[in-house]
C-alpha cells in the first residue's frame, strides 16, 4: 500500500460536507471508489468511507498512475458492495469530506443486472379514480414531483417512494387529467428539475409533462391497426417528406401551412389547377411516406407565432409529437389529435406512414432529463470521462444498456399502438448495437411483421466495439432490417464526399459492374435478401441530385442533366430492393445549392408546387415507373434465389446495361421483361428475338403499363440517356 494512501481507523465525524476543494470521490464499480486529489499533497493522506451512520470497511487502497502529475488518484476497494440510492461520504484524516458521486458504476453490466426494470408502467397513468406516477431513478436519494393545474399554477409537492429495481412511485387520489407535472431528483448532492422521459403529453416547448387520458385524443372511428394492406418489404415505394416543407409554400393550395393538418386536407389545388397535397401523393402512387422527425425536438421555439425552421434531428422527448407542426402547441391534446388525424388520412388514401426516429443522441446532454435523472447512464463516455461523439452533435446514447434499449423499444411500441405508425427510419443506426436493433425487430414482429425497419447503417466512430455496431456491413446479422444502400447511391451519381465525382447515370461508365450488383439488390455483396436494400440517389441530407449535377455536370446543357436525372430515378424504381424517393425528386428538386439545409429558411426547403406544375412530363414519368413496379412483381422479387433464377444480364457495350427478367409464369402476368439503361450520349440499336411479340412500356420520358408501341422488327433503338422497358 502506498504510504500516501495510508488509512487511519481512529478519525470520526458526525457531520459531513458534500464537497471540498481538496478532493472529489466517484463510485466507479460496486466495490470501487476513485478519489481525485486536486493538488499535490505534501503529507500522507488517509481516507475513510461512511454512510453517515457507520464507518464502512475498506479492504484495499492504492495509488493509480495518472497525468497530469499535479493530480493524485487514489482507488479504494470496499469489503461489501455499495448500493445505489444511498448517500456515502469519503472523509480524509483531517475530517475533510465529500459526497461520493455516481461515476462509472452506472455503465457496468452489474448495474443493469441489479437495477434493470422490465415492467411497462413508467410515466403517469390514470387508473380509475387514482393517478399513478412512476420513474426509474436508481441513483437518486429522493424523488419529488411538483404538481401544477392546467394553467401551470403550482399546487403541491408529492413525495415518491422507492420501489423495486430503482423505481420511484406515488399514487395520488383523484384523476389528475390535464394537470402539469415535473420531477425533482436528488442525485449527486443536488436537486435536478426533470421532465418525465415517459411523459405521453407535454406543455409548449416540453417544459412540463401533462397527465392525459389518451383515449380522448382519438379521432372519430380511430383504429391504429386499420391500415393499407402490405405484405412484403420489396412492395414498398418510400417517399421522404418533411411536414412543414410540403405545405408551407403560398401556392401549395393547403390551408394549414406547415402543419400536420395540411396533410389531412382534401381536393387541394396548386398552380395551374394541378393536384396538390394528399391527393397528389395518392395519385403519384407511393406506398409509404417517410416523415422527417415528428417526435418532440428542441431546436424550434414552439411558442413563436412564426417558428424558425429545422429538420428536427434534435430530440428531447420520445413519446410525444413535435408541437411546432400543431395548430395549437399550447394545448397538450391538440398535437396528439392532429398526428392521429394525419395518420388516419394517409391510411384512408392507401399510404402507410414511416416516422424518422432519432434515438442515437439527445439535443443537449446537459439539459437532458435522462442525464438529470440518472447521470452518466444513458450515454457513452470515453476513457477520459468525456461523452462519446460519434454522432457529431455532442453525445451518443448507449443503446446497449438495458434501460436505454427499453426506452427505444417502449417508444416504438407506443407509436405503433397509439398512433398507428407503419415503419421506422433509424437515424444514424450505426451508433446503435446489433442486439438492440434485433430486439426491436422481434418486438415489432409480435405486433405486426409488415411494419418496416430501415436505417442508416453507417460506420460511426462511437465508443462501441466494431462487431456490435448495427452497420451495413453487418446486415446479415440483422434480418428484417433494411439499410440505406450507399453503394447504390454512389454508383449511380458519384461518391458522396467528392462532389465532382460521377456515377453511371451522370457519365462514369466504369462503374457499370457496381450497378449490376445494385440492380440485384446487392444480394451478392451486402444483403441476404433484396428487401434489406434501400435504393436511393437523394434524400434530405446533402445536395439534391439536381444540385449535385450542377457541380459534377456543370458543363452540360440543362436538357442533358434532366435526362440523366430521369435515368437515375429509373434505376432506383426498377432495381430489386426497396426504392426510396426524396420529395420533389420527381420534378428535379433544387435547394439552390445548399448542401445541408437543416436550418435553412422555407425559401430553400419548401416543396415547390410551382415547379411541380411546370414539370408535368417528368412527374408523369416517375408516376408511370411507380405504376409499373406496383403492378408487376418481377421488379420486386423477395429472395436472393429468385433473383439468381429470374434475372440475367447481357453484355453489349459500355454505355448499355441490359438485363432480362424471365421465366415469370408463376410470378407475373408477363412472360419476359427486358430492361435497357443507356447511360451514353448516343443512340444504340439492339437485336431482339423476332419470334416474340415485344411491347414497349417505357421509352424516353414516357412510362407506364400500357404499351407505347409494339416491335415489328427484330431491332429496337434506345435513345441516349434513357431507360427502355419491353415485355412479351
The CATH number of the domain holding residue 344 is 3.20.20.80
Give Cα separations from 651 to 430, 512, 659, 686, 689 (angstroms). 37, 11, 9, 11, 16
Q: Say if residue 21's pLDDT is above 90.
A: no
Whether residue 657 is contained in a domain is answered as no
The enclosing domain of 15 has a CATH number of 2.60.40.2320
| Predicted local distance difference test score (pLDDT) of residue 72 | 85
Q: Say if residue 42's pLDDT is above 50.
A: no
**Which residue intervals of 484-585 are DSSP H helices?**
486-493, 512-519, 545-552, 558-574
Catalytic annotation present for 67: no
* Mean pLDDT confidence for 239-265: 98
Whether residue 670 is contained in a domain is answered as no
Whether residue 42 is contained in a domain is answered as yes
| Predicted local distance difference test score (pLDDT) of residue 675 | 98
Q: Say if residue 13's pLDDT is above 50.
A: no
Q: Say if residue 238's pLDDT is above 90.
A: yes
pLDDT band for position 5 (cuts 50, 70, 90): very low
pLDDT band for position 203 (cuts 50, 70, 90): very high
Q: Say if residue 233's pLDDT is above 60.
A: yes
What's the N-to-C CA distance of the chain in angstroms?
87
What angle is formed at CA 501 by the lines to CA 499 and CA 505, rounded to 5 degrees?
115
| Predicted local distance difference test score (pLDDT) of residue 68 | 59
pLDDT band for position 70 (cuts 50, 70, 90): low
Q: Are strands 482-484 and 452-455 parallel, antiparallel or unpaired?
A: parallel
pLDDT band for position 10 (cuts 50, 70, 90): very low
Whether residue 112 is contained in a domain is answered as no
Asked if residue 239 and residue 98 are part of one domain, the reply reads no
Whether residue 543 is contained in a domain is answered as yes
* Mean pLDDT confidence for 468-477: 98
| Predicted local distance difference test score (pLDDT) of residue 67 | 62
Residue ending a domain, among 86, 102, 118, is: 102
Q: Is the omega angle on the peptide bond into residue 572 within 30 degrees of 0, that is, cis?
A: no
- Average pLDDT in the chain: 95
Measured between alpha carbons, how far is 31 from 82 in angstroms, rounded to an integer?
A: 6
Whether residue 687 is contained in a domain is answered as no
What is the extent of the structural domain holding 59?
3-102
Residue ending a domain, among 634, 650, 667, is: 634
Q: Are strands 684-687 and 352-357 parallel, antiparallel or unpaired?
A: unpaired
Strand, coil or helix: 557: coil
* Mean pLDDT confidence for 184-199: 98
Tell which wins on pLDDT, 539 or 8: 539
Asked if residue 410 and residue 265 are part of one domain, the reply reads yes
Catalytic annotation present for 456: yes
Number of domains in the chain: 2
Whether residue 208 is contained in a domain is answered as no
Q: What is the pLDDT of residues 258-269, one digit of tens each?
A: 999 999 999 999
- Of the chain, the percentage scoring pLDDT greater than 90 comes to 92
Q: Say if residue 354's pLDDT is above 60.
A: yes
| Predicted local distance difference test score (pLDDT) of residue 46 | 84
What angle is formed at CA 29 by the lines to CA 28 and CA 31, rounded to 5 degrees?
120
Q: What is the pLDDT of residues 109-130, one digit of tens each?
A: 999 999 999 999 999 999 999 9
Cross-strand pairs, 223: none
Selection from 433, 425, 428 nearest residue 463 by Cα: 433
pTM: 0.95
Asked if residue 237 and residue 96 are part of one domain, the reply reads no
**In the 8-state DSSP scheme, what is residue 386?**
P
Of these residues, 29, 410, 456, 699, which one is catalytic? 456
Phi, psi of 708 (to 5 degrees): -75, -35
Q: Say if residue 4's pLDDT is above 60.
A: no
Whether residue 225 is contained in a domain is answered as no
* Mean pLDDT confidence for 319-323: 98
Residue ending a domain, among 102, 134, 151, is: 102
Lookup result for grid cell 395519385: 283
Measured between alpha carbons, how far is 33 from 76 in angstroms, rounded to an integer?
A: 5
For residues 520 and 533, the answer to whether their CB atoms sit within 8 Å is: no
* Mean pLDDT confidence for 706-723: 95
Q: Say if residue 353's pLDDT is above 60.
A: yes
Measured between alpha carbons, how far is 535 from 99 in angstroms, rounded to an integer?
A: 55
pLDDT band for position 413 (cuts 50, 70, 90): very high
| Predicted local distance difference test score (pLDDT) of residue 384 | 87
Of these residues, 240, 427, 538, 562, which one is catalytic? 427
| Predicted local distance difference test score (pLDDT) of residue 69 | 59
For residues 175 and 215, the answer to whether their CB atoms sit within 8 Å is: no
* Mean pLDDT confidence for 682-700: 93
pLDDT band for position 38 (cuts 50, 70, 90): confident
Q: Say if residue 9's pLDDT is above 50.
A: no
Phi, psi of 370 (to 5 degrees): -60, -45
- How far does CA 698 lie from the centroid of its chain? 35
Contact partners, residue 425, CB within 8 Å, separation at least 6: 290, 354, 355, 356, 357, 454, 455
Provide the angle, in degrees to the nearest 10, between the axes of the packed helices 486-493 and 558-574: 150
Neighbour count for residue 307 (Cβ, 10 Å):
17
Choose the weakest-confidence range: 14-23, 145-154, 641-650: 14-23
Q: What is the pLDDT of residues 576-625, one digit of tens each?
A: 999 999 999 999 999 999 999 999 999 999 999 999 999 999 999 999 99
Amino acid at each position: 500500500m502506498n504510504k500516501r494512501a495510508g488509512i487511519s481507523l481512529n478519525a470520526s465525524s458526525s457531520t459531513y460536507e458534500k464537497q471540498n476543494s481538496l478532493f472529489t470521490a466517484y463510485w466507479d464499480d460496486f466495490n470501487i471508489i476513485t478519489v481525485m486529489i486536486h493538488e499535490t499533497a505534501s503529507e500522507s493522506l488517509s481516507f475513510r468511507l461512511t454512510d453517515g451512520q457507520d464507518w464502512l470497511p475498506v479492504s484495499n487502497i492504492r495509488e493509480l498512475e495518472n497525468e497530469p502529475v499535479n493530480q493524485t488518484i487514489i482507488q479504494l476497494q470496499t469489503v461489501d458492495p455499495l448500493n445505489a440510492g444511498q448517500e456515502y461520504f469519503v472523509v480524509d484524516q483531517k475530517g475533510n469530506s465529500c459526497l461520493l458521486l455516481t461515476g462509472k458504476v452506472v455503465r457496468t453490466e452489474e448495474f443493469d443486472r441489479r437495477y434493470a426494470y422490465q415492467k411497462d408502467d413508467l410515466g403517469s397513468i390514470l387508473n380509475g379514480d387514482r393517478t399513478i406516477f412512476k420513474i426509474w431513478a436508481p441513483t437518486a436519494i429522493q424523488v419529488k414531483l411538483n404538481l401544477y393545474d392546467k394553467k401551470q399554477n403550482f399546487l403541491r409537492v408529492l413525495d415518491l417512494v422507492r420501489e423495486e429495481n430503482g423505481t420511484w412511485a406515488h399514487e395520488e387520489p383523484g384523476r389528475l387529467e390535464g394537470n402539469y407535472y415535473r420531477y425533482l431528483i436528488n442525485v449527486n448532492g443536488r436537486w435536478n428539475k426533470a421532465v418525465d422521459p415517459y411523459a405521453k403529453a407535454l406543455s409548449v416547448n416540453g417544459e412540463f409533462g401533462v397527465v392525459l387520458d389518451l383515449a380522448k385524443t382519438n379521432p372519430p372511428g380511430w383504429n391504429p391497426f386499420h391500415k393499407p394492406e402490405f405484405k412484403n418489404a420489396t412492395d414498398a415505394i418510400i417517399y421522404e417528406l418533411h411536414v412543414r416543407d410540403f405545405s408551407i409554400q403560398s401556392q401549395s393550395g393547403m390551408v394549414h401551412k406547415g402543419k400536420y393538418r395540411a396533410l389531412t386536407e382534401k381536393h387541394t389545388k396548386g398552380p395551374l389547377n394541378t393536384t396538390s397535397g394528399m391527393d397528389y401523393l395518392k395519385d403519384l402512387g407511393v406506398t409509404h411516406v417517410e416523415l422527417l422527425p415528428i417526435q418532440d425536438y428542441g431546436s424550434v421555439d414552439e411558442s413563436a407565432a412564426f417558428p424558425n425552421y429545422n429538420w428536427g434531428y434534435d430530440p428531447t422527448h420520445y413519446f410525444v409529437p413535435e408541437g411546432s407542426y400543431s395548430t395549437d402547441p399550447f394545448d397538450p391534446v391538440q398535437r396528439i389529435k392532429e398526428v392521429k388525424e394525419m395518420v388516419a388520412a394517409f391510411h384512408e388514401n392507401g399510404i402507410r406512414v414511416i416516422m424518422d426516429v432519432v434515438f442515437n443522441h439527445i439535443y443537449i446532454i446537459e439539459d437532458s432529463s435522462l442525464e438529470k435523472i440518472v447521470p452518466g447512464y444513458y450515454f457513452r463516455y470515453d476513457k477520459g470521462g468525456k461523452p462519446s461523439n460519434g454522432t457529431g452533435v455532442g453525445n451518443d446514447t448507449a443503446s446497449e444498456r438495458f434501460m436505454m434499449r427499453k426506452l427505444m423499444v417502449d417508444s416504438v411500441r407506443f407509436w405503433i399502438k397509439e398512433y398507428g405508425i407503419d415503419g421506422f427510419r433509424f437515424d444514424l443506426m450505426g451508433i446503435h448495437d446489433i442486439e438492440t436493433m434485433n430486439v426491436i425487430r422481434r418486438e415489432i414482429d409480435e405486433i405486426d411483421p409488415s411494419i418496416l425497419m430501415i436505417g442508416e447503417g453507417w460506420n460511426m466512430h462511437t465508443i462501441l466495439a466494431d462487431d456490435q455496431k448495427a452497420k451495413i456491413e453487418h446486415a446479415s446479422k440483422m434480418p428484417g432490417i433494411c439499410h440505406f444502400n450507399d453503394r447504390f447511391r454512389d454508383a449511380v451519381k458519384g461518391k458522396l464526399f467528392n462532389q465532382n465525382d460521377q456515377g453511371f447515370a451522370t457519365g462514369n461508365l466504369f462503374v457499370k459492374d457496381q450497378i449490376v450488383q445494385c440492380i440485384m439488390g446487392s444480394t451478392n455483396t451486402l444483403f441476404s435478401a433484396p428487401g434489406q436494400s434501400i435504393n436511393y440517389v437523394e434524400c434530405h441530407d446533402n445536395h439534391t441530385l439536381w444540385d449535385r449535377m450542377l457541380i459534377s455536370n456543370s458543363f452540360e446543357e440543362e436538357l442533358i442533366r434532366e435526362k440523366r436525372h430521369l435515368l437515375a430515378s429509373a434505376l432506383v424504381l426498377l432495381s430489386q430492393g426497396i426504392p426510396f424517393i426524396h420529395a420533389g425528386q420527381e420534378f428535379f428538386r433544387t435547394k439552390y445549392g445548399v448542401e445541408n439545409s437543416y436550418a435553412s429558411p422555407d425559401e430553400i426547403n419548401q416543396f415547390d408546387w410551382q415547379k411541380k406544375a411546370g414539370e408535368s412530363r417528368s412527374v408523369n414519368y416517375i408516376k408511370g415507373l411507380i405504376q409499373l413496379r406496383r403492378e408487376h412483381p418481377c421488379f420486386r422479387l423477395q429472395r436472393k434465389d429468385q433473383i439468381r433464377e429470374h434475372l440475367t444480364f447481357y453484355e453489349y457495350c459500355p454505355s448499355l446495361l441490359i438485363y432480362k427478367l424471365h421465366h415469370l409464369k408463376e410470378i407475373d402476368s408477363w412472360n419476359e421483361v427486358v430492361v435497357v439503361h443507356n447511360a451514353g450520349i448516343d443512340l444504340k440499336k439492339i437485336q431482339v428475338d423476332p419470334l416474340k411479340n415485344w411491347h414497349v412500356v417505357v421509352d424516353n420520358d414516357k412510362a407506364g403499363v400500357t404499351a407505347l408501341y409494339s416491335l415489328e422488327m427484330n431491332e429496337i433503338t434506345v435513345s441516349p440517356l434513357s431507360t427502355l422497358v419491353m415485355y412479351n
